[in-house]
Amino acid sequence: MAKFINIKKMKKLLSIIGLSALLFTSCSKDNDTILVEADGKATVSFDAVFGIQDFALNKNFTLGTNTLNFNKLRYWVSNVVLVNSKNEEYKVPSSYYLIEETGAINLTGVNNDLPTTIYPATKREDVVLKEIPVGDYKSIKFSIGVEQKYNDNLSLQTGELSQLNGMTNVSWMWLTSYIYSSLGGTVTNGTTSKTLKVETGLNANYKTVTLDFPATVRISSSKATSIVLNADISKSIDGLDVYTTNTVGGSQATAMTTVATNYSTKVFSVKSVN
């Protein structure tokens, strides 16, 4: 009888051990599922400032002896590339984004080929990059403007490229092309004010920005990633007296190149990455 009881107890013990092993295996599988990382996304913010002040429309800013007041800031960010810790580059597909802060624009006055169209007042600083391969990333690259393939043929469209946003120009060359950046408003010196219009374009002024992060940032499905860049608009007109040269465009090639170079070397810096 005692022998029978021992066998019974042993069967019960084995059952408990088996159940525990099954639960442990199940939990391990669940934990593995939670820990598996997939492609992630990152929000890149282009935080406009003017020196140490927040950039805003219809606000006075002092630059030297000039007072500037803006009604428009627009520029194309294109061909975004993320570089990981192994120096491998991930080129974000169809990455063409219009960053802007502008009041309503009558596009009929900008491009007479369009029907009467009002582009609404818009403020856009954020870009969401999706399906980024899992990894630790150390830097970001992007260009200001639109590369020749699309700039010379506006019938080709990708990303957000379109003629319907008023960022094209027919006066700089025989063919209609994109305006890469556009800054508008007034500039005042003393008691005299002038209209301010600073624009860049043309293939030669397509410039690339490269920014290193202060530390590598992990991008994966397990966390939300934020990359905040300062865009110092005062630096875009560095080296210019915008009261004397209050209009910059195709007819002011040297000034246009100066502004385009400023965008690629001075305007952008990394504010935070997490």
User: In the predicted model, what is the mean pLDDT of residues 154-172?
Assistant: 91
User: In the predicted model, what is the mean pLDDT of residues 36-61?
Assistant: 96
User: In the predicted model, what is the mean pLDDT of residues 104-125?
Assistant: 76
Mean pLDDT value across the chain: 88
Of 56-65, 112-121, 245-254, which range is least confident? 112-121
Give domain limits for the chain. Answer: 1-36, 37-273
As a three-state string, the secondary structure of 57-85 is CCCEEEECCEEEEEEEEEEEEEEEEEEEC
DSSP 5-52: HHHHHHHHHHHHHHHHHHHHHHHHHHHHHHH----EEEEEEEEEEETT
Is the pLDDT at 258 greater than 90? The verdict is yes
At residue 107, the pLDDT reads: 77
pLDDT, tens digit, 9 for 90 and up, residues 201-243? 999 999 999 999 999 999 999 999 999 999 999 999 999 999 9
Segment holding 256, helix H or strand E: helix 253-265
Is the pLDDT at 19 greater than 50? The verdict is no
Which two tokens mark 216?
Answer: 């590598």
Q: What is the pTM of this model?
A: 0.84
- CB 96, CB 146: distance < 8 Å: yes
Is the pLDDT at 24 greater than 70? The verdict is no
